[in-house]
Amino acid sequence: MDKEKFAEIKAMHVTAFDEVMKEKLIPIIGEQTTFAVKQIVDKMQLQQRELGRDMTLLSKKQKMDFVDIVKATVFKDFAIDTKANEALIEEQDNRGGYLVSREIADAIMRIAASVGTIMNQAAKWEMTTDELAVPNYTGSFLTGSYLGVDAPGPVTGVTFGQANLIAKKWQLAFVVGNDLLADASVNVADWLLALGGEALANMIDYQGFVGGANSGDPFLGLLNYPSTTTIDPTGQKVSSYVLPTGSTTFAKYAVMDDSSIMIGDLEESILDGAAFYFNRTVWARLRTQKDTAGNYILPYAGWAKPEPAMENHPGGGPIKPAGEILGYPVYTNRWLPAVGASSVNGFSDGASNSFCVFGNMRSFAFGDKGEMRVAQFESGSFGGKEIALADQRGLVYKHRHALANALPRAFVVGKTSAS
């Protein structure tokens, strides 16, 4: 058989497998999430074909070994650390599991960074312990002083506070049919890696933007962070910009006026790398705003010369900018409050509700504890179903990480007016 024909047959097999996997996952994690995961898998496979390696930077052998770990039947020699049951799953010491290699953990983290805003943009801190204090400057901006004649100069005290990164355990549990795992291949590994990366990115984005909205949230998100109408000199509060009276809904945000004020709330040293963050539905409303002459602000806002005050970038979102406002990129994220929201994660599209952020995400800290574990279950109840009777296997990812706002003064939270 010639190479061209073989490549066609191989491509057909990959496509058929991906379609089967997609149909199997829809009832478990939903159509929207499955579609998002499939997009990641498609991107990985395209990178593999064009570049010889995808975003995970794993070889085919490493991917196959990872599938073998999940199957828990064959163990290869590539730095796989096995753990005793009681050390791996503290709550259930009668189940088996394995600590995957750092290469696999890094691969899932790279996938998460390719689809999640916080993972992509936040400052990364390696954690060797469960708690890490990250220094943040809380004093006033330094100016120094001039010396008098034959007089000593004053000593300026440099005041540092700290943001504590405290690692919490995250897990993702789902089931996969034994028939799919029996046909172990690189395709299975792509889907398992993508599932872990997508779920991790989603949770970290949720915690980073709206964490603290529900009981059980281990971290405090930007919209729920203590705020003040001016930059707090201690650096422990974010600036909160309240829209003018009468602007009691998200769509009342005035692109030119409100954006300009929010930009002005940040010091110049922080503006390099700053961006706006909205829910996609809010951004959609802002794109249709008009100036006082009745012209759309997008793209020229009635300017005499074609310098856009606002731009739209089709296909943008959490990673790629969805547009620009006054030269600053706009990112959209599903966890920020949407137009018409009614008590979703503690936020409603009404008076006195936080809904958008302008700031420098490099001042937000993500602590990576490093280890990632994969446990497999041949029996037990997953989603109210006994998986042994359904010829399925339960998979559980576990990872320890931390989030903290390392420099609160680097963010401004937009909030609707009270009346």
Tell me the domain boundaries of the chain.
3-132+164-212+365-405, 225-362+407-415
Beta strands 392-405 and 168-177: pairing type?
A: antiparallel
Amino acid at 295: N
Residue 401 has a pLDDT of: 92
Calpha distance 342→350 (Å, rounded):
8
pTM for the predicted model, two decimal places:
0.82
Residue 130 has a pLDDT of: 86
Calpha distance 329→325 (Å, rounded):
7
Residue 132 has a pLDDT of: 85
Q: DSSP for 219-288?
A: S--GGGS-EESS--TTS-SEEEEEPPTT--SGGG--HHHHHHHHHHTS-HHHHTT-EEEE-HHHHHHHTT
pLDDT tens sequence across 7-40: 544 454 456 778 877 877 777 677 888 888 899 9
Dihedral Cα 93, 64, 14, 175, nearest 10 deg: 0
138 in Cβ contact with 234 (< 8 Å): yes
Residue 76 has a pLDDT of: 37
Calpha distance 374→37 (Å, rounded):
18
Mark 147-156 as b/e (b = at least 16 C-beta within 10 Å).
Answer: eeeeeeeeee
Residue 222 has a pLDDT of: 94
Instruction: Output the 3-class SS for 104-151.
Output: HHHHHHHHHHHHCHHHHHCEEEECCCCEEEEEEECCCCCCCCCCCCCC
Identify the CA nearest to 173 among candidates 29, 17, 39, 369. Answer: 29
Low-confidence ranges of the chain (pLDDT < 70): 1-15, 28, 71-99, 135-162, 181-184, 228-236, 299-307, 383
21 in Cβ contact with 191 (< 8 Å): yes
pLDDT tens sequence across 247-284: 999 999 999 999 999 999 998 888 999 999 999 999 99
Calpha distance 36→195 (Å, rounded):
9
**Could you give the C-alpha distances from 11 to 38, 49, 52, 76, 119, in angstroms and in order?**
16, 11, 15, 27, 32
